[in-house]
Structure 1
């Protein structure tokens, strides 16, 4: 395994605040494959890598600029 630096993981409330979407819309987009999927932390806990969310936002900005 490579020694990779992993950024912070964000829980759902932080993801909602960062991207401006609510829980139901986030999970709808995850299901459609248009939003980064969460990482399972445990039986009832998930989180999103901040890097994946930053890349998603950057892609939206690039699309809007076209």
Structure 2
């Protein structure tokens, strides 16, 4: 089962700030989060890993 990542963890993995994570969500640059409650959003670790892999392929 995938680990669920909070916004702080996603920001650290991507090397960006939390506000940039939310901006990228709004701009559809990264996968949309799963909303566990109105104030709690998470991402599947596999979704973030797939996003990173796709960016690496574009950059290569």
Question: Is the pair's TM-score, using the shorter chain for normalization, greater than 0.5?
Answer: yes
- Pairs aligned (count): 60
Indicate the SS of the match to 2:36.
strand
Distance 2:21 2:56 in 1: 18
Match of 2:15? 20
Give, in angstroms, the shift of residue 12 of structure 1. 1.2
Q: TM-score, normalised by structure 1?
A: 0.83
User: RMSD of aligned C-alpha atoms?
Assistant: 1.0
Q: 4+ residue stretches of structure 1 with deviation over 4 A? A: none
For structure 1, list consecutive stretches of 5 or more residues without a partner in the other structure: 1-5
* Runs of 5+ unmatched residues, structure 2: none
Higher-Rg structure is: 1
